[in-house]
Amino acid sequence: MRLLKREGNGRLSIQEFYGANIPQYAVLSHTWGAGEVTFDDVRSSNQGREKESFRKINFCGRQAAKDGIEWFWVDTCCIDKSSSAELSEAINSMFKWYEDSTKCYVYLPDVSTYHFRSELDKRRWFTRGWTLQELVAPKTVEFFTEEEDMIGSKASLTKHLQRITNLPIEVLQGAPLSDFTPQEKMSWSSNR
């Protein structure tokens, strides 16, 4: 697993960790857009800073540092997608990586701090199948607006999230997924 670290000068470093040597880390949950920062960008000297998506990566690093977490993971730039073997392994490992994270930050660039309650259920993040695991797997999920303000957590927004997603409250509160049938789990993604 590769993790990112924000250096004192604001630059990113990337390091690979194995097995029991993986430190505490935060993850960024987001929707992809045009011009995502890639693994190759992070390894290069400019690090994709000119791309619009660098903002959310920089946000994740700053937020992790505020929370006392040195390392963070972002799918777009921690996975070398030019390697089909690595991409396949990452897809199979992703739920576990989210589950093992210290915190998951959901970045919602289409939600403003001042109107989030009326805007939240109409946002792209709630329509994507991939983001379902990013809501269910981590123990701690925090939601941030385009202004990078935290609007709540999975715990504080449980009833609101249940209404938007139709997930059982027990799932949002961390019930083991083995308590639910495959059919129930499949139904959770039916509106995504």
Give 156's Cβ-side CA count (13 Å radius).
8
pLDDT of 46 reads 64
Question: Could you give the maximum distance between any two Cα atoms of the chain, in Å?
Answer: 49
pLDDT for residue 142 is more than 70: yes
27-41, 60-74, 123-137: which has the minimum mean pLDDT?
123-137
Mean pLDDT across the chain, nearest whole number?
90
| Count of other CB atoms within 10 angstroms of residue 97 | 20
pLDDT of 114 reads 76
- Dihedrals φ, ψ of 113, to 5°? -60, -35
Reported confidence tier of residue 79, pLDDT bands at 50, 70, 90:
very high
Following CA atoms 18, 68, 104, 147 in sequence, which dihedral angle do they give, to the nearest 10 degrees? -140
pLDDT for residue 115 is more than 80: no
Task: List the domain boundaries for the chain.
Answer: 2-188
Mean pLDDT, rounded, for 89-110: 94
pLDDT of 34 reads 83
pTM exceeds cut of 0.75 = yes
Nearest to 104 by CA among 54, 5, 29: 29
Reported confidence tier of residue 44, pLDDT bands at 50, 70, 90:
confident
pLDDT of 108 reads 92
